[in-house]
């Protein structure tokens, strides 16, 4: 099997696992929101907002550094694995201690502190990502994907069973911790396949030092991302209460899961498009254009439903009580578009070794988000929080157009996404102004949107063919 074909198959496996688990997670989460109601789901969301925020202590970039060094120094791979696992576990325990201390000093109720104490132990499960590194290097992703997918499916099914059994809040937190520990156990078992996959804990200070030195910039970037994604919920609770967190958390969970689907596609398919089109700068720009355009088309299609018919969509998914969160959903769904664009631009920044400059982009977005949340939540409630998230991502995208090193990627993005966003915005405006019915005009709006794109030539047969043939790397593009 050729290397390119092997990459295609492995990426397809990863894509299928991510999409299927994300879809199942979305369905169970919708059911969970309806089951718990706004007040209890507010406590649930608050606990996991803290968990997500404290994830900065076990950042994903550590495994990237471990993978890079394992490729450069194969004879030291096991030591780097051991160092990475030890660092993740140590930082997880540190995050657990600081998280509990923080909520205690903030005067949180004892039951929430107890819930958080359970869930934060799930940070230990992040060490499993380090154990996947040798499988990724060898392009043997079937077993890791099956292990990850199986553990995730078991978790989602256990949540569904807890709902059927009319469980209270506490079992859901124990189930989450159990899932993360099972996930970690699965990957330790996968390491038994080959000795090279097993971490060695006889590492030196040198490995630890290099991992920290190589990942600190991305760590700070990760902190900024966590501020934008979860600071709002942490602020809503003391200002507006648990019910408001539940209303906002339902919208945030919905958009988080939906953005996860196109991002999974981007991560898995983009490398194939690049390999299919070739390694020239023109081919890279074409691959970026394809990825941005078709994913923005899909995201805007979702935005039309969530923003144009938000209140009806919330009532349908979560219940009538959530209709009052329509304003928050409008801005969070709009932020979803720029969140994806920002993520694509961040990937381009990494490929050009512009991590330090990206600190400015991410830092400015985080600063604006904090300032707007402090100003808008007391006055406009959860809708103000949604706007703060939207404004932060929009600012980051604008800054990439202002800063010269990012400008070429920004222009590719602008060219690829402008018309889908314009058409979608026009349809959303009409839907909201006329207060159109979701069941009647939702499908009509979708058809009109796709018709406008086809009429303008934004969806082209040869581009769709290139995306399809990226999974068939043995073929060459017709246009060279």
Which DSSP string corresponds to 141-160?
-HHHHHHHHHHHHHHHHHHH
Task: Please tell me the distance from the alpha carbon of residue 265 to that of residue 271, in angstroms, as a whole number.
Answer: 11
Given a contact cutoff of 8 angstroms between Cβ atoms, the answer to whether 261 and 60 are in contact is: no
Residue-level pLDDT at 458: 79
* Rg, Å, the chain Cα set: 22
Joined tokens for residue 176 = 């989450």
So what's the pLDDT on residue 472? 56
Sign for the CA dihedral angle at 420, 421, 426, 429 comes to: positive
Q: Are 341 and 296 in contact (CB under 8 A)?
A: yes
pLDDT exceeds cutoff 70 at 169: yes
pLDDT tens-digit readout, 275-318: 544 445 565 556 566 667 777 888 899 999 999 999 999 999 99
User: What is the mean pLDDT of the segment spanning 45-56?
Assistant: 91
Cβ(368)–Cβ(229) below 8 Å: no
Residue with tokens 């398919």: 269
In this model, does residue 466 exceed pLDDT 80? no
Q: What pLDDT shows up at residue 307? A: 94
Tokens read off for 168: 């209270």
Query: Residue 231: exposed, middle, or buried by beta-carbon count in 10 A (0-12, 13-18, 19+)?
Result: buried
- The whole-angstrom separation of Cα 462 and Cα 454 is 13
**Residue 425 confidence (pLDDT) above 60:** yes
Inter-CA distances, 233 with 45, 228, 266, Å:
8, 10, 28
Q: How far is CA 175 from CA 45, 119, 161, 465, in A?
A: 15, 9, 11, 43
Residue 132: which of 123, 122, 140 has the closest Cα? 140
- Statement: residue 46 has pLDDT above 90: yes
Alpha carbon 280 to its chain centroid, in Å, reads: 30
Nearest to 424 by CA among 291, 334, 314: 334
- pLDDT (tens digit, 9 = 90+) per residue, 205-242? 777 777 777 677 767 877 888 888 889 999 999 999 99
Span 358-376, pLDDT tens digits: 788 889 999 999 999 999 9
pLDDT tens across 88-105, in order? 899 899 999 999 999 999
| pLDDT: which is higher, 425 or 63 | 425
Tell me if 133 sits within 8 A of 66, measured CB to CB.
Answer: yes
* Domain residue ranges of the chain, discontinuous segments joined by +: 1-203, 227-475
What is the pLDDT, as a whole number, of residue 312? Answer: 95
Q: What is the pLDDT of residue 83?
A: 85
Question: pLDDT > 70: what percent of the chain?
Answer: 82
| Model confidence band, residue 132 (pLDDT cutoffs 50, 70, 90) | confident
Q: What angle do CA 145, 146, 151 make, to 5 degrees?
A: 100
What's the DSSP call for residue 62? Answer: H
CA dist 341 and 335 (Å) reads 10
């Amino acid at each position: 099997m050729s290397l390119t074909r092997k990459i295609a198959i492995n990426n397809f496996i990863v894509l299928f696992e991510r999409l299927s688990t994300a879809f199942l997670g979305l369905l169970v989460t919708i059911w969970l929101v309806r089951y718990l109601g706004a007040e209890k789901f507010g406590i649930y969301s608050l606990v996991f907002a803290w968990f997500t925020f404290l994830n900065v202590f076990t950042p994903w970039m550590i495994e990237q550094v471990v993978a890079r060094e394992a490729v450069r120094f194969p004879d030291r791979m096991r030591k780097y694995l051991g160092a990475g696992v030890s660092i993740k576990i140590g930082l997880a325990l540190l995050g657990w201690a600081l998280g509990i201390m923080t909520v205690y000093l903030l005067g949180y109720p004892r039951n929430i502190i107890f819930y958080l104490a359970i869930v934060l132990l799930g940070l230990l499960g992040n060490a499993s990502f380090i154990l996947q590194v040798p499988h990724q290097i060898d392009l043997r992703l079937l077993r890791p994907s099956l292990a990850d997918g199986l553990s995730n499916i078991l978790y989602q099914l256990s949540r569904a069973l807890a709902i059927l059994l009319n469980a209270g809040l506490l079992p859901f937190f124990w189930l989450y911790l159990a899932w993360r520990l099972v996930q970690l156990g699965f990957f330790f078992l996968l390491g038994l396949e080959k000795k090279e996959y097993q971490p060695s804990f006889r590492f030196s200070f040198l490995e630890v030092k290099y991992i920290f030195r190589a990942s600190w910039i991305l760590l700070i970037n990760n902190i900024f991302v966590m501020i934008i994604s979860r600071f709002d919920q942490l602020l809503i609770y003391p200002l507006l209460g648990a019910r408001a967190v539940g209303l906002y958390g339902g919208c945030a969970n919905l958009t988080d899961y939906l953005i996860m689907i196109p991002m999974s596609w981007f991560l898995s398919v983009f490398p194939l498009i690049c390999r299919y089109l070739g390694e020239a700068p023109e081919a890279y720009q074409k691959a970026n254009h394809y990825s941005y355009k078709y994913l923005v088309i899909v995201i805007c299609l979702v935005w039309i439903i969530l923003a144009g018919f938000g209140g009806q969509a919330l009532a349908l998914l979560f219940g009538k009580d959530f209709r009052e969160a329509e304003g928050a959903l409008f801005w969070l769904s709009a932020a979803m578009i720029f969140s994806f664009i920002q993520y694509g631009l961040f990937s381009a920044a990494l490929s050009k070794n512009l991590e330090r400059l990206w600190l400015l982009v991410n830092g400015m977005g985080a600063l604006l988000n904090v300032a707007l949340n402090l100003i808008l939540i007391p006055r406009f409630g959860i809708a103000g929080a949604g706007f703060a998230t939207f404004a932060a991502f929009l600012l980051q995208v604008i800054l990439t157009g202002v800063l010269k090193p990012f400008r070429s990627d920004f222009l590719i993005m602008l060219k690829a996404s402008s018309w889908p966003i314009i058409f979608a915005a026009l349809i959303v405006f009409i839907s909201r102004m006329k207060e159109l019915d979701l069941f009647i005009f939702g499908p009509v709006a979708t058809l009109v949107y796709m018709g406008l794109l086809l009429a303008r030539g934004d969806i082209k047969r040869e581009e769709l063919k290139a995306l399809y043939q990226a999974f068939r790397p043995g073929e060459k593009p017709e246009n060279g």
